[in-house]
Amino acid sequence: MNCQYKAQTRSRAFTLIELLVVISIIALLIGILLPALGSARATARKLTCASTLRSAGQGMQLYALDNKEYFPGPNSSGAAYRINRGVAGGFYGMANETSSTTPTTIWDWISPTLGDSLGLSVNRATRTSQIFSDFGCQEARLTIDTLFGGWIDTADFQTELTEGRSFNQISYLTPGSFHYYSSEWGQNAPSIVRNQPNTRYLTGFENPATTPKSFRPQLTRVGTQASNKIFAADGTRYVAEERGSLILDFDLNPVAATYSSFGTSGPTFDESRAYGRDTIESSDLNVDLSIRHAETINALYFDGHVSGLTKTEMYSDPNPWFPTGSIFTEDRATPESVSFMERQQGNRREAKIN
């Protein structure tokens, strides 16, 4: 009698230990890949930010070509708007409905150069929001908490803040040293309107360097090499403390005298509101918001190219932030820049910016 045995088959499943090993491997791979993916995204945002700055540089240069080499800023595109038009409320021809190329403040160098090409709004509040958000750096992602000061169109800004698109943090700042006339002029600076001394061009500070008396905000006067001088860079203003809390705001005044939302004193000024360390007692949030690309910033140079600067370079070398021939006074300068300029000065009588 033949006996036939049928082989029994059974499926093989993962054991609990094998399953745990697989899960551990997946978790390890995710742990390895996520930082790399995050770094790749940050790199992409930095490149996009650099591309935006390059567009700003092209606009700046086109503006200068049409305006006798003067580049946009408070003493060029914004100068005429410092003249009070005599309308009730101190209207300077900038508030409410104007045009896409009207500066939102006298320091606004973006609207006069790119207002038409970007399709910016004719309303000052909406145009400001578009500049901060649509034309802003992708890494500048905080939104404004509140508005500082007031103007005749404050209601427009309040509506934009609470019911509209709001305002992202400020992305790009231009060094004030390339816009002010020299402090050597004192009270005798040239007048915007002839025979009207109350319309004199804005003069600059001496901290930590003073520009030559011959300086004007023109491409031909920024320095011996425009490729070494910075027109604009990553930077955020204005972080402040209010009743024990940190807030982010910006000045609504269209004729704000100092920097407004588009200018800066530069990183070698130790008390810079954008880059200064220990300017806010409880935080370095201003530094984090300004130096936002893995401890570096994107900088746009007057020749139109964009490159990165590290923290060390920013705080140490004042040469890119001031016109050639400026005298470095050391007053309220970063310790690193003082040491840098002492080495650069050598045996010369004065420490001059190259």
Residue-wise pLDDT tens digits, 55-83? 999 999 999 999 999 999 999 999 988 88
Please give the sequence-ordered ranges of beta strands (E in DSSP) within 192-278, or none if there are none: 209-210, 230-234, 239-242, 245-248, 263-264
Q: Are 235 and 247 in contact (CB under 8 A)?
A: no
Whole-angstrom distance, CA of residue 188 vs CA of residue 201: 10
Burial letters 57-80, b for 16+ CB under 10 A, else e = bebbbebbeeeebbbbbbbbbbbe
Position 26 scores a pLDDT of: 84
Position 86 scores a pLDDT of: 54
Position 7 scores a pLDDT of: 47
Sign of the alpha-carbon torsion through 144, 150, 153, 154: positive
Give the dihedral of Cα atoms 75, 76, 81, 82; nearest 10 deg: 20
* Residue whose tokens read 């790119």: 114
For residue 117, give the H/E element and its range: helix 111-118
Whole-angstrom distance, CA of residue 233 vs CA of residue 235: 6
Q: Are 298 and 54 in contact (CB under 8 A)?
A: no
Q: What is the pTM of this model?
A: 0.87
For residue 299, give the H/E element and its range: strand 296-301
Distances from the Cα of 193 to the Cα of 72, 90, 101, 255, angstroms: 18, 18, 22, 17
Position 205 scores a pLDDT of: 81
Position 91 scores a pLDDT of: 60
Q: Which of 209, 229, 220, 214 is nearest to 181 (CA)?
A: 214
Position 195 scores a pLDDT of: 79
Q: Please identify every stretch of the chain with a pLDDT value under 50, giving residue numbers as ranges.
A: 1, 3, 5-7, 88-89
Residues 6+ apart with CB under 8 A from 80: 93, 192
